[in-house]
Structure 1
């Protein structure tokens, strides 16, 4: 009898173990949960580390752009692309004979384009042209978003957005009239667009936000007087976040759900249900409902926000600061002015005038 009771307890314990195991497996099948777990581990790990410059790579002077693509460093100067590994060794280079060249980097391709003609080269990680497209109209800029390539174009006296697939085929196009496009984006549904534009009329400026569905169906149109739109983003499926040079707005259809005014806005970052806005010498965390959750002020000057391994980095010309909620994880003072910082896996890439520095993190003694 005692053996049967013990056997029953064993079976119950085994069932509980199986249920817990299935629960853990189901939890980690969700990609969002995987990301949150990794960020949690990284956030706690990096709290005990200090930043160390592990390598410095000379890139010469007058480099126009530096970016990371395919796990390597890519330099752009005088119509030439140069790709380096993280030891500074040249992997390849390619020249372009273009008149007024533009360049944009996406997750899959590097886009090199001739602005006046509308010719675009989709370059792979080896610098080879995977696709060549001729839109036969001037191009202002290109942005890769998910599986779409959004091209800011000019046709006659109108500006617009031409949407291409990843093979360079045109799948949609919007023209917005006698206005200058400021920002543009496409929602996760790959079906809804947001475009902000600026109209100058004598002594008055008017910014406008328009939301379209594919096929040119207008869903939303909102004017904002005497402010310039700097940032637009879809929040959930039915809300739009707008940042101007002086305010933050949350819209749903044509209604302003909330708005907040700020002085000296510098940057913004949205992470799920939180909005981080950097202004003056302060970074403020705001909920999607417009409520202030945290506010941190600095004695140093910071200009940009960068998400990194589950926490935030703010940086300026001189200082880099790691933050997790209101806790300061690390502070680093650069010996040379910082032009830009790029996140690459567990490292930070510091861009200076004539060199690149690779920053790693080591455990504090």
Structure 2
């Protein structure tokens, strides 16, 4: 009887030992899937649809839209369709103008005369605003246009317009330089990245204001410089070269992630509420972080990768002559002979910009052998 019990006990022990090692194997396999090198499981490739032989070194800016490409020379904006046909041209009469592209409008900044001119995507003027003072820069965020000017000689002023050209708010900073801004979804709050040079030590700040110019709070960042700020719903993202923080609107820290390396590029996927970052230390990694601060995906990538693009749920990584497409796994691994300047990602095609021209590439299935 005792021998029978001993045998049963031994079998149970063997079963639990086997189960234990099986669980360890599964866990280590999952860890490996997170940290492995990008493997070539490609199911797609890029097929050249058309190309435009344009010396892109002659142009100072480019913007890719769903049905046109806009390029900027020192005194002209040119619209091209995807066959290379000129749709329209617009002369720029300002001296040393700055051109900025939004989702629905084009903005010409005459920084010397202090004037902003807004065009629609057909090149027609829809409104202009005369500040009668010099303008530092303009940027479109959401359904608002932010114009950076000076209040007097020293104080930075942030002017917020709707896309119809109506001034809806302004903010004057008592100290510091406004490097960047973002607008909350309800258009009631403005987030500002401030560089404070008032003391001997350079300080970086995150400041939250009402759109009417009242300061709600500000927070100093010690021993680092903020490179990016953004609203994600009602939460606030603050990024330095090696750290990511998420705060709520009352300044409470929700989470803080130190990065083992330097952040090279970062993209915010608002729709899926996640942060996609590319960073380099001893190796280079792509990491996807949820809004809760947890790692959803982490992969070692080619050391030449420099830029992240997103479209729908797909991530595109671009290097000098390489384009990866990633969903859960790599679905695209494509080499190009020319050095890539930038990429436009549309629903069913990629627009690849090189010094020699513009290539219209279609995403197609790989042919099986």
Category of TM-score, reference length = shorter chain: 0.7 to 0.9
1:122-160 CA distances to partner (integer Å, 9 max, x unpaired)? 111221211121122222222223321111222321112
Distance 1:51 1:70, change over 3 A: closer
SS state at 2:122 partner? coil
Q: What corresponds to 2:28 in structure 1? A: none
Q: Which whole-Å CA distance do the structure 2 matches of 1:345 and 1:258 have between them?
A: 34
Q: What corresponds to 1:160 in structure 2? A: 157
Q: What corresponds to 1:15 in structure 2? A: none
Q: What corresponds to 1:233 in structure 2? A: 230
Q: What corresponds to 1:343 in structure 2? A: 345
Q: Which of residues 153, 174, 179 is equivalent to 1:177?
A: 174
Q: What corresponds to 2:128 in structure 1? A: 132
Aligned residues of 1:66 and 1:351 also touching (Cα < 8 A): no
Q: What corresponds to 2:273 in structure 1? A: 273
Q: Give the superposition deviation at 1:201.
A: 5.3
Unaligned runs of 5+ in 2: 1-41
1:245-282 CA distances to partner (integer Å, 9 max, x unpaired)? 22111112223222222222111122233211110110
Q: Give the superposition deviation at 1:190.
A: 1.2
Q: Which whole-Å CA distance do the structure 1 matches of 2:226 and 2:253 have between them?
A: 15
User: TM-score normalized by structure 2?
Assistant: 0.81
Q: What corresponds to 2:301 in structure 1? A: 298
Q: What corresponds to 2:24 in structure 1? A: none
Q: Which whole-Å CA distance do the structure 2 matches of 1:279 and 1:354 have between them?
A: 29
Aligned runs of 1:197-216 on 2, under 5 Å?
A: 197-200=194-197, 204-216=201-213
Q: Which whole-Å CA distance do the structure 2 matches of 1:109 and 1:273 have between them?
A: 26
Distance 1:125 1:273, change over 3 A: closer
Q: What corresponds to 1:80 in structure 2? A: 76
SS state at 2:127 partner? strand
After alignment, is 161-170 or 64-73 more displaced? 64-73
Q: Give the superposition deviation at 1:48.
A: 3.8
Distance 1:85 1:49, change over 3 A: same
Q: Which whole-Å CA distance do the structure 2 matches of 1:319 and 1:76 have between them?
A: 26
Q: Which whole-Å CA distance do the structure 2 matches of 1:69 and 1:152 have between them?
A: 26
Q: Which whole-Å CA distance do the structure 2 matches of 1:108 and 1:294 have between them?
A: 33
1:335-363 CA distances to partner (integer Å, 9 max, x unpaired)? 11111111233211111113111111122
Q: What corresponds to 2:29 in structure 1? A: none
Aligned runs of 1:1-365 on 2, under 5 Å?
A: 48-60=43-55, 61-69=57-65, 71-155=67-151, 156-200=153-197, 204-237=201-234, 239-252=235-248, 253-262=250-259, 263-271=261-269, 272-280=272-280, 281-325=284-328, 327-365=329-367
Aligned residues of 1:70 and 1:125 also touching (Cα < 8 A): no
Q: CA RMSD in A?
A: 1.9
Q: Give the superposition deviation at 1:235.
A: 2.2
Q: Which whole-Å CA distance do the structure 2 matches of 1:345 and 1:273 have between them?
A: 20
Distance 1:251 1:309, change over 3 A: closer
Q: Give the superposition deviation at 1:297.
A: 0.4
Q: Which whole-Å CA distance do the structure 2 matches of 1:213 and 1:287 have between them?
A: 28
Q: Give the superposition deviation at 1:320.
A: 0.9
Unaligned runs of 5+ in 1: 1-46
SS state at 2:320 partner? coil
Number of matched pairs = 318
